[in-house]
Structures are given as structure tokens and as C-alpha cells.
Amino acid sequence: MQPLVVLIGIVMGSSVALLAGLVMTLAVFFFLPGHDDRLAGEFRPLIQAIAWAVLLAGASAAAFAGHIRQRPWRQPALLAMLVAMVLVGWHYWP
């Protein structure tokens, strides 16, 4: 396995784990209907974070699959992953 594929796999695994945690947090929101007033301000940022995580997870999964299978579109997929990483970093940078 090439070192670049390992790095892409680390990004993919981290982004998928982040997405899973955010989706589980959303599920907890739905199981606490009595606390709607306290959680109302957190719902929109949570949905935005899930959207960013979906973008990063999708781009990194595509880059990983492209590099593992040696597809001709692997370089654009890697570029999309890098752009997604920069966008997520730009969005969350203080």
C-alpha cells in the first residue's frame, strides 16, 4: 500500500468517525423532545457540522477508492478531498 493511500485512509476514517458522532448527537436531539427550548440554538450548527462532515467524508472516500483501484479519476478526487479539507478548516478556524 502506498503512503499516500494510508494518509487518505486516515483522513477518511477520521471524517467518517466524526460524521458518525454528529449523526448520533442528532439522534439524541430527537430522543429528548422535552428539551426543545434548550436545544433549539444548537440544532442549526449541528446540521451545518453534519453537512461539512458529509462533504469531507464523501470526498475522502472517493479519493481512497480511486487510489486503491487505480482509477483515472483518482487525482481529481484527491484534489476534491484537499479542497474539502481546506474549506472545513477555513470554516472552523477561529
Residue with cell 430522543: 31
How much is the pLDDT for 34?
82
The tens digit of pLDDT for each residue in 32-70 reads 888 878 888 899 999 999 999 999 999 999 999 999 999
Confidence label for 17 from pLDDT (cuts 50, 70 and 90) = very high
Domain count, the chain: 1
Burial of 29 (0-12, 13-18, 19+ CB in 10 A): middle
- Could you give the dihedral angle defined by the CA atoms of residues 2, 6, 8 and 11, in that order, rounded to the nearest 10 degrees? -170
Q: Which domain holds residue 54?
A: 3-92
Q: State the pTM of this model.
A: 0.89
Q: What is the pLDDT of residue 61?
A: 97
